[in-house]
Structure 1
């Protein structure tokens, strides 16, 4: 739930300080920024706990299921669907696309692209067999 009182108090303070309607509008703008947290620093990314490996079931499909979950595809997906999903995700998470971004975002893109590549290689290897 967003705050509402920043806009109200900003409008009143701006009007009273500048004694002009423009002051009220400026105060309203500052109040809007306050209500929508423009002045708070961004939260640091929470350190994620390492994902616990799930024990492989008797059929050994845990690794394959993981690979298909990365692409959000069923195991019956065609090669064309797999390639489309791979290209879509790599165009989104490729490290070169976020070269000028924050270091945290670069690191996230690198780990996600490694995961995508590992999943794609795993599926390709299983399909060649």
Structure 2
């Protein structure tokens, strides 16, 4: 059968747009490649999606309401009930994919805050 791997950057930065009061959408391009070079059936899922903002006093709040698309189709964390939470299936040996992350409105405050998050993307061979 063969192994597959995800190839792409590991760290991304999204800029805050003061006009829309939200972070700009994040565009993540990556490749899924079969190590053998043979076509394989595989699935992509989002098992980890955690996002937070920390204010200047060190208090942390979860940032909820993000939305995701994978190659233009709904995609969502596995532990959610949103469309796309069960992932997407593909067949190929060297495929390019595009994950878009959209952020909810996050009004500016008088105090500084820093927001960060972690996404975990999983590729699994489907037998």
Q: TM-score per shorter chain, which class? A: under 0.3
Normalising by structure 1, we get a TM-score of 0.22
Compare the two structures and name the one with the higher strand fraction: 2
Q: Greater helix percent: which structure? A: 1
Which has the larger Rg? 1
The structure whose RCO (Cα within 8 Å, separation 6+) is larger is 2
